[in-house]
């Protein structure tokens, strides 16, 4: 088993770390305080060539792997978790899924401008009444001539208020349930599409979250991604990779919270000595490190598996490990960041110190991209699948 990152992965990790420290760390307080999305963010990402990590070179991408993508999200999340999520929603949830599932025409049309940062991407699945129960989405797509007509509402859509290109899931044959879902590419200028509002959040501020309305929205039939009624495969395979990439964000937040906590514990003196000398602080720091490194290994391992797996979804090792990775990493991050706030004491509660921001941000990944409750159900389903099959044969 090889635990070493490749030269290319290490270079990408270190480059993004330095870039995020220089470009994002100084603006994060404003991003969080004002829920501010820096308009030149994607232009800056394009300048360092990180918008098409997993995309073929012929569309302008790097042709690299899922682990490299995960490392980028991890490093960016250390200083700007909300912007890192916005980046991941574009590069992975939207661009990567189109790359994997769309035909050549759509790829040539949509990928290059998105990889260049000229167009911003988003993915639209969740609806007001379809959160954990994703298959119960009600947005309808009805074919009329050479168009699909979409009607419905999507909620909690990362990048919703700023995106140009949306990968949208809708029901083409509602009576077939999960087997009646299709995926479409919708542009923000298509007639009948609108963003009804920007939603304010506890954390991950600066990452714009929106509610989308499709009111007889006209989508060219050629914008169907994959085959009609096969959208669930696009969705579940995509979710596996999405979970791993976002889990990288959890690892980054935990890593950075630990670094802040170590530095503070060494600097801060109480009772005549650095508080790092007290066992109670030492126990906290040791647990924070152990859990963070355990999360990192699981997430990297899952990213490696994602690269090697032809597909994800029900019945695959990938779907189980991806769910476990984000479950463990997200709970680790919330826990580690909470400890970091505690070590900082009163300073940790004040907005000038970044640990409280990391804590608020970290909580999102226990909820977004399938709650931890759903992830546990997936892991258990996969764990028991074979045993149930054997029992049925007896």
Partner 1 sequence: MDYFLTEEQRLLQEIAYEIVKERIRPVRAELDEKEEFPWAIMRDLAQSDLFGIWIPKEYGGLGMGILENCLVVEQLARGCIGIATTFAASGLGAYPIVLFGSDELKRKYLPPIARGEKLAAFALTEPGAGSDVSAIRTRAVRVGDEYILNGTKQWITNGGEADIYSVFAITDPSKGPRGASCFVVEKGDPGFFFGKKEKKLGIRTSATRELVFNDCRIPRSRLIGKEGLGFIIAMKTFDKSRPGIGALGVGLAQEALDISVEYARKRIQFGKPIISFQVIQHKIADMAMKIEAARALIYSAARYLDTKADAPDASKIAAMCKVFASDVAVQVALEAVQVLGGYGYMRDYPVEKLLRDSKILQIYEGTNEIQRNIIGQELNKEYGRIKESFIR
Which amino acids are annotated catalytic?
A: 242
Farthest CA pair distance, the chain:
79
Q: Does 153 participate in binding partner 1 (rule CB under 8 A)? A: no
Q: Residue 289 corresponds to which tokens in the numbers above?
A: 């490190």
One of 148, 359, 375, 382 touching partner 1 (CB under 8 A)? 359
With CB under 8 A as the contact rule, the residue among 102, 106, 124, 155 that binds partner 1 is 155
Q: Is 195 in the site for partner 1 (CB under 8 A)?
A: no
Residue 305 has which token pair? 């598996």
What are the contacts of 177-182 at 24+ separation with CB within 8 A? 177/135, 178/135, 178/232, 179/229, 179/232, 180/229, 181/135, 181/137, 181/229, 181/231, 181/232, 181/235, 182/141, 182/224, 182/225, 182/226, 182/227, 182/228, 182/229, 182/230, 182/231
**Should residue 314 be labelled a site residue for partner 1 when binding is judged by CB under 8 A?**
no
Q: Binding partner 1 by CB under 8 A: which of 22, 287, 345, 384?
A: 345
**What string marks each residue from 242 to 281 as x (binds partner 1 by CB under 8 A) or -?**
---------------------------xxxx--x----x-
Q: Taking CB under 8 A as the rule, does residue 231 contact partner 1? A: no
Query: Nearer Cβ to partner 1, position 256 or 309?
Result: 256
Stretch that binds partner 1, among 159-167, 246-254, 318-326, 360-368 (CB under 8 A): 360-368
175 binds partner 1 (CB under 8 A): no
Could you tell me the smallest distance in angstroms from the CB atom of residue 149 to partner 1? 27
Compute the distance between CA of residue 179 and CA of residue 158 in angstroms, rounded to an integer: 25
Shorter beta-carbon distance to partner 1: residue 66 or 181: 181
Give the per-residue contact string, 43-72, with partner 1 (x = CB under 8 A; - = no): ------------------------------
Among 48, 149, 195, 199, indicate the residue that binds partner 1 (CB under 8 A). 199
Residue 380 within binding range of partner 1, rule CB under 8 A: no
Burial of 362 (0-12, 13-18, 19+ CB in 10 A): buried
The reply to whether 200 sits near partner 1 by the rule CB under 8 A is: yes
**Of the candidates 392, 258, 240, which has an alpha carbon nearest to the alpha carbon of residue 323?**
240
Give the footprint of partner 1 on residues 19-48 (CB under 8 A). Answer: 33
For the chain, the residue count is 394
156 φ, ψ to 5°?
55, 40
Residues 6 or more apart whose Cβ sits within 8 Å of residue 166 = 94, 121, 122, 123, 124, 157, 185, 186, 187, 188, 212
- Within 13 Å and on the Cβ side, how many CA atoms surround 198? 12
Query: What mask of x and - would describe binding to partner 1 in positions 92 to 131, judged by CB under 8 A?
Result: ----------------------------------x--xxx
Identify which of 138, 37, 135, 125 has the alpha carbon closest to the alpha carbon of residue 80: 37
Please give the residue ranges that form the binding site for partner 1 (CB under 8 A): 33, 126, 129-133, 136, 155-156, 199-203, 209, 269-272, 275, 280, 334, 338, 341-342, 345-346, 348-352, 356, 359-360, 363-364, 366-368, 371-373, 376-377
């Amino acid at each position: 088993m090889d635990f070493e990152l490749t030269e290319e992965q290490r270079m990408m990790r270190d480059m993004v770390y330095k870039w995020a420290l220089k470009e994002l760390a100084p603006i994060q307080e404003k991003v969080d305080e004002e829920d501010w999305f820096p308009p030149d963010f994607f232009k800056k990402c394009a300048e360092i060539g990180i918008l098409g990590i997993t995309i073929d070179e012929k569309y302008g991408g790097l042709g690299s792997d899922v682990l490299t993508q995960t490392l980028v999200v991890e490093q960016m999340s250390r200083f700007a978790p909300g912007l890192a999520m916005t980046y991941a929603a574009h590069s992975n949830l939207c661009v990567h899924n189109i790359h994997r599932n769309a035909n050549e025409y759509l790829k040539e049309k949509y990928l290059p401008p998105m990889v260049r940062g000229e167009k911003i991407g988003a993915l639209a699945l969740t609806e007001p009444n379809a959160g954990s129960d994703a298959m119960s989405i009600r947005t309808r797509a009805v074919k009329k001539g050479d168009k699909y007509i979409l009607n419905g509402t999507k909620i909690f859509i990362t990048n919703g208020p700023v995106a140009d290109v949306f990968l949208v899931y809708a029901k083409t044959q509602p009576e077939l349930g999960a087997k009646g879902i299709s995926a479409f590419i919708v542009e923000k200028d298509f007639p009948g599409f609108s963003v009804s509002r920007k939603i304010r959040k506890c954390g991950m501020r600066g990452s714009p979250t929106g509610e989308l309305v499709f009111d007889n929205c006209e989508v060219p039939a050629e914008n169907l991604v994959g085959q009609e009624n096969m959208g669930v495969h696009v969705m579940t395979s995509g979710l596996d990779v999405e979970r791993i990439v976002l889990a990288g964000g959890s690892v980054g937040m935990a890593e950075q919270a630990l670094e802040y906590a170590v530095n503070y514990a060494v600097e801060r003196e109480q009772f005549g000595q650095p508080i790092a000398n007290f066992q109670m602080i030492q126990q906290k720091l040791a647990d924070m490190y152990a859990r963070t490194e355990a999360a990192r290994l699981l997430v990297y391992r899952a990213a490696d598996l994602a690269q090697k797996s032809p597909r994800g979804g029900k019945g695959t090792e990938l779907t189980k490990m991806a769910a476990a990775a984000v479950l463990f990493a997200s709970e680790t991050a919330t826990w580690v960041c909470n400890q970091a706030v505690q070590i900082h004491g009163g300073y940790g509660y004040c907005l000038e110190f970044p640990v409280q921001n990391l804590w608020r941000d970290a909580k999102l990944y226990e909820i977004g991209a399938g709650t931890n409750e759903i992830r546990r159900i997936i892991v258990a389903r996969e764990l028991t699948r074979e045993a149930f099959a054997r029992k049925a044969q007896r």
